[in-house]
Amino acid sequence: MAVNSITARILARASGKDRVEVGETVVAKVDKVMIHDVTGPIALDIIDDLKAGIPSPENLYVFLDHYSPSPSISASNIHRRFRIFAKTHKVANFFDVGEGVCHQVMVEGVVRPGEVVVGADSHTTTYGALAAFATGVGSTEAAYAILTGKLWFKVPEPLHVRLEGTLPSYVNGKDVVLSILGVLGQEGANYRALEFGGPGLRALSMSDRFTIANMSVECGAKNAVFPIDDITVNYLEEFGILPNSSSLSYLKPYEVESPHLTLNLDALEPMVAKPHSPANVVPVSDVEGVRVDTAFIGSCTNGRYEDLLIAAKILKGRRVSKDVRLVVTPASRRVLVRALQDGLIKILLDAGAVVTPPGCGACFGGHLGVAGDDEVVISSSNRNFVGRMGSPKARIYLASPATVAASALEGCITDPRHYLE
């Protein structure tokens, strides 16, 4: 049976076939490969060991983002190695510390609809919001794709999610994806392609879509795809990419007879994932009042301009609770500059936030806001596993930037809708 999914259509084209079946193994041409300073060194070991040249360095994207700027000698030495590697192999797409989190920069005019992109990072699924096939791989497979320009994939079974209605105020993409995770569970989409559709797509900005595609991996999805529509096209045009709409018709929204999951956006509330799983999801009202020590806004999930904007809206003219540290990490240089120009950074600083340079630091417990023993964190990032953000004794709650901002003000988990004007 032919597969009704954009994922299958992209994989068929990339492997030179008219059509592919679910479960079929294809060897697909890979358009772009991404590695960074945590997963990259293992790929570099392999490339060095093989003494292999990189056939198409223009397809390789290298990021120093997890330790940005470096907090340790060991990280600095990794960075030195990458800089030499980039020069030796003439890697032009080299993003040194301060440029931003790989996934954010990759959607700022790099990834194009219909492409096959692999990244040595699980949140590579983010780029599926641009109607691309994008998935996370290990370092060895990244090295393989860098050296051969191809990789094998099993065509995933689609899991169709139909969205209806429109989002209420102070409810956004994070609440959508947390709701989905709550329904599907931590492995509910294992090996599958989340394919989004329905009239509710119109209610989702690109920022919302990136957040949803990003966290799709938390229910095990291999990838996530949003079809291309006016919102996608307008976004790409901002970066000077003018998609040829007639040649991209295979990426447009399509009808699905019986979606696996239907979500009514009108009925959504702000959601929170409790410790220690992103799928341990409840409405914010269930956890309101839980005292927090640290609030974090940032990461590839929710460190975009729109995220800083909604946080600034809530924080403007107010002051973060004296018992809470609010750390804000813009996801990229571009995001930081725009937030600076529009006055958002000043609002955040005036409210008592610590604003850090762009990078992955706090989200993975690297630096710039590491959680201590018994601390409670409310975070706009993507994972709340034991020890994810630092001490294994810390407790992490995941929520939208709006919920994090409201909670930072109150000193405890708070429904952002209390700040609706």
Partner 1 sequence: MSLRRIEGRVLVVGDNVDTDAIVPGRYLTITDPKELGKHALEGLDPAIPGKLKERSIIVAGRNFGCGSSREHAVLALLGAGVKAVVAESFARIFYRNAINRGLLVLEAPGARQKITDGDKLVIDLERGVLVLASGETLPFKPIAREVLEIVEAGGLVEKLKKELHHGGR
- Least Å distance, CB 46 to partner 1, is 6
The answer to whether 237 touches 206, Cβ cutoff 8 Å, is no
Closest listed residue to residue 320, CA positions, set 406, 195, 206, 211: 406
Q: Which of residues 288-317 bind partner 1 (CB under 8 A)?
A: none
Q: Which of residues 113-132 bind partner 1 (CB under 8 A)?
A: 119-122, 124
- Least Å distance, CB 389 to partner 1, is 8
Binding of partner 1 at residue 38 (CB under 8 A)?
yes
Nearer to partner 1 (CB atom), residue 107 or residue 206: 107
Binding of partner 1 at residue 419 (CB under 8 A)?
no
Spacing of C-alpha 196 from chain mean position: 16
Nearer to partner 1 (CB atom), residue 284 or residue 362: 362
Nearer to partner 1 (CB atom), residue 93 or residue 186: 186
φ/ψ of 203, rounded to 5, equals -85, -5
Nearer to partner 1 (CB atom), residue 67 or residue 305: 67
The answer to whether 25 touches 266, Cβ cutoff 8 Å, is no
Binding of partner 1 at residue 81 (CB under 8 A)?
no
Residue span 350-389 as binding mask against partner 1, x where in contact by CB under 8 A, dash where not? --------------xxx----------------x-xxxx-
Binding of partner 1 at residue 183 (CB under 8 A)?
no
Binding of partner 1 at residue 50 (CB under 8 A)?
yes
CA distances 284 to 120, 178, 303, Å, are 33, 11, 21
Residues 6+ apart with CB under 8 A from 40: 62, 82, 120, 139, 142
Q: At what angle do helices 305-315 and 206-215 cross, to 10 degrees?
A: 110
Helices (H), 89-167: 102-106, 139-148
Nearer to partner 1 (CB atom), residue 182 or residue 366: 366
Q: Measured between alpha carbons, how far is 125 from 247 in angstroms, rounded to an integer?
A: 23
Binding of partner 1 at residue 78 (CB under 8 A)?
yes
Q: Quote the DSSP letter at residue 100.
A: B
Q: Measured between alpha carbons, how far is 129 from 395 in angstroms, rounded to an integer?
A: 30
Question: Can you give the binding site for partner 1, defined by CB under 8 A?
Answer: 25, 38-39, 41-42, 45-46, 49-50, 52, 66-67, 72, 74-75, 78, 119-122, 124, 136-141, 143-144, 147-148, 152, 154, 186-187, 190-191, 220, 222, 277, 364-366, 383, 385-388, 390, 392
